[in-house]
């Protein structure tokens, strides 16, 4: 009984950690530019695919990982520069279509650069399961949860203790005021895309040994990251982390105790239910309109 519960909890925490990273990616870009980046899932895919194909080609893992992270960040920066920046003052719908267009483009490119097959990575530290009170925990799950935790602490430090991080935070509160006190707002926008792409890539790399990856792997991960971000309240970092964990754990419990067929629907059922009663998510600020 308890062992099964623990088992579901482990798997929920693992996927929840990935959703949290994706959700944070949404939140960072949303804060800097009020753009919802529907290509967030593609950063996850690029991180996983780039690492997996490089390792398969003989590049050592410790070299492939940073290279894949850089590749993903470059794609993020290019996307901001060429697709998002030129449409700065466009409608919400217009920007949504631009980022969806970018995601379709990236999937198309991935299909050509790599292929349509599934790719995997060897687990970072072996495949010997660890027994915990009757449940088993794969070492790679620990990697996923651990890396996510380190990234979250790193982000906290970046946004609260470094000048550039504070400048980014300032821009998210009030763009004009930030510009007036000398923040290079354009750099902040570029940095937000680079940082989100990096988060995505990290998530994609650590999870690939467990879930495998292919050119379409980013779609569902991205949408669930979006649900995590909305669930916590758009633009709220802590909210995105909590949202990601809730989605991940609820999904694992539902597929364990109810039906695995509806696993992918759980995130969206939760989000609808929450939005019906809390239109700004769990921790979101209530919006007011200036008329």
Partner 1 sequence: MNLMTARTGGLAALAIVVAVAPVGFSNSYFYDVGVNAMFNAIVCVGLNLLIGYAGQISLGHAGFFALGAYGSGILTERYGVPAIVALTLSAAVVGILAFAVARPILKLKGHYLAMATLGIGIIIHIVLKTEAGITGGPDGMSLGNFKMLGFTIKGDQMWYWVTGVLLIFAVWLSLNLIESPVGRALRAVHGSEVGAEVVGVDTSSYKVLVFVVSAVFASVVGSLFAHKNGFITPDIGSFFGSVHFVTMVVLGGMASVYGAVVGAVILTLLPQLLAVVEQYEAMILGVIMMGTMIFMPKGLLPSLMIKLKSREAGR
Binding site for partner 1 (CB under 8 A): 30, 36, 83, 86-87, 90-98, 100-109, 111-112, 219, 223, 226-227, 230, 234, 259, 261-262, 264-265, 268-269, 271-272, 275-276, 279-281, 287, 289, 291
**Which runs of consecutive H residues, i.e. helices, occur in the chain?**
2-33, 40-56, 61-79, 92-113, 139-161, 163-173, 175-180, 185-211, 218-232, 237-257, 263-277
Map residue 136 onto helix, strand or coil. Answer: strand
Taking the CB of residue 215, how many other CB atoms lie within 10 A of it? 24
Comparing CB distances to partner 1, the nearer of 89 and 128 is 89
Comparing CB distances to partner 1, the nearer of 94 and 174 is 94
Secondary structure (DSSP) of 140-202:
HHHHHHHHHHHHHHHHHHHHHHSHHHHHHHHHHH-HHHHHHTT--HHHHHHHHHHHHHHHHHH
Closest approach, Cβ 272 to partner 1, in A, equals: 5
Closest approach, Cβ 276 to partner 1, in A, equals: 4
Closest approach, Cβ 219 to partner 1, in A, equals: 7
Closest approach, Cβ 235 to partner 1, in A, equals: 10
Comparing CB distances to partner 1, the nearer of 65 and 98 is 98
Closest approach, Cβ 233 to partner 1, in A, equals: 10
On the 0-12 / 13-18 / 19+ scale of CB atoms within 10 A, 110 is buried
What is the spatial distance between Cα 81 and Cα 196, in angstroms, rounded to a whole number? 14
Comparing CB distances to partner 1, the nearer of 204 and 281 is 281
165 in Cβ contact with 153 (< 8 Å):
no
192 in Cβ contact with 32 (< 8 Å):
yes
Closest approach, Cβ 159 to partner 1, in A, equals: 21
Comparing CB distances to partner 1, the nearer of 65 and 95 is 95
Comparing CB distances to partner 1, the nearer of 34 and 187 is 34
């Amino acid at each position: 009984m308890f062992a099964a519960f623990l088992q579901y909890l482990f798997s929920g925490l693992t996927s929840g950690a990935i959703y949290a990273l994706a959700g944070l990616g949404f939140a960072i870009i949303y804060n800097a530019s009020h753009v919802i980046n529907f290509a967030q899932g593609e950063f996850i895919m690029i991180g996983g695919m780039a690492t997996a194909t490089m390792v398969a080609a003989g590049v050592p893992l410790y070299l492939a990982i940073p290279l894949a992270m850089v590749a993903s960040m470059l794609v993020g920066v290019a996307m901001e520069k060429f697709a998002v920046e030129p449409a700065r003052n466009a409608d919400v719908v217009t920007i949504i279509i631009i980022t969806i267009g970018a995601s379709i483009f990236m999937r198309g490119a991935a299909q050509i650069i790599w292929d349509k097959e599934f790719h995997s990575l060897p687990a970072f530290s072996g495949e010997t399961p660890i027994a915990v009170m009757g449940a088993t925990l794969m070492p790679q799950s620990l990697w996923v949860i651990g890396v996510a935790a380190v990234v979250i602490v790193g982000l906290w430090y970046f946004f609260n203790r470094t000048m550039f991080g504070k400048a980014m935070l300032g821009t998210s509160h009030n763009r004009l005021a930030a510009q007036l006190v000398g923040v290079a707002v354009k750099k902040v926008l570029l940095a937000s895309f680079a940082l989100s792409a990096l988060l995505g890539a990290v998530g994609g790399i650590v999870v690939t040994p467990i879930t495998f990856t292919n050119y379409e792997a980013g779609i569902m991960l991205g949408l669930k990251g979006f649900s995590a971000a909305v669930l916590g309240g758009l633009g709220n970092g802590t909210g995105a982390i909590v949202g990601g964990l809730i989605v991940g754990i609820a999904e694992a419990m539902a597929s364990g105790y109810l039906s695995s067929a509806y696993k992918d629907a759980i995130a969206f059922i939760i989000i609808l239910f929450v939005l019906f009663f809390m239109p700004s998510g769990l921790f979101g600020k209530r919006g007011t309109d200036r008329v």
